[in-house]
Amino acid sequence: MNNQPDLAARYGVCDRLDEYRLLPVFRNITEALGLQIIDLWRRNHALPAGSDPAQRVSQVVLAAIDAEDKLVAVSTAYRAPFSHSGLQSGGEGEFFFFRTFVQPGDRRHNLPKKLTNSTYDHLKTLPPAGRPQGVVIVAENPKLTKKLLEHELGPFGWTHIGQDARGKQVFRRDF
């Protein structure tokens, strides 16, 4: 057991997958949890050069803990305008841009897919007034091919809308 405060008791559990519990921490992250999140990213070299860890922490939506109450994964979302020009869906609008990080030893049991869909479900509960149109995923990881993501996310309502200017696969799901 961690000697950290009981995260599940503090935040509640919004979803489960095997030994993992997903905690809704959006806009409610304590300084202690923020430091744990930054440590998770740094230990795993997950932060891009030049990124601001504190800004990223403010974007965390869900945190995943294992059976030993250790933080193993997070999902983040930030609001931004999105021009669909050149993509199949056309048009423009504001969306949440989604990212997830699962430490290597826990990239099994469908945890990344569970985090993706549970994050969407959580963001959808935000009040509709002023909420973005939906969620966009730009697959930065080259292992996440169009075929793989369509297979994993398509059944949940995610739609492939093309590639961005860098050749990254882009998926969208409206609220």
DSSP codes joined into one string, 43-103: HTT-SPTT--HHHHHTTEEEEEE-TT--EEEEEEEEEEEEE-TTSTT--EEEEEEEEEEE-
CATH number of the domain that 169 lies in?
3.40.630.30
Q: What is the pLDDT, as a whole number, of residue 1?
A: 42
List the one residue out of 156, 120, 118 whose CA is nearest residue 136.
120
Looking at the structure of the chain, the number of domains it has is 1
Indicate whether 11 belongs to any domain: yes
Q: What is the pLDDT, as a whole number, of residue 90?
A: 52
Do residues 123 and 27 make contact, with C-beta atoms less than 8 angstroms apart?
no
Indicate whether 131 belongs to any domain: yes
| Boundaries of domain holding 57 | 7-174
**For residue range 144-175, what is the model confidence (pLDDT) as tens digits?**
777 778 878 888 999 998 888 888 889 999 99
Indicate whether 46 belongs to any domain: yes
Indicate whether 2 belongs to any domain: no
Indicate whether 1 belongs to any domain: no
Indicate whether 18 belongs to any domain: yes
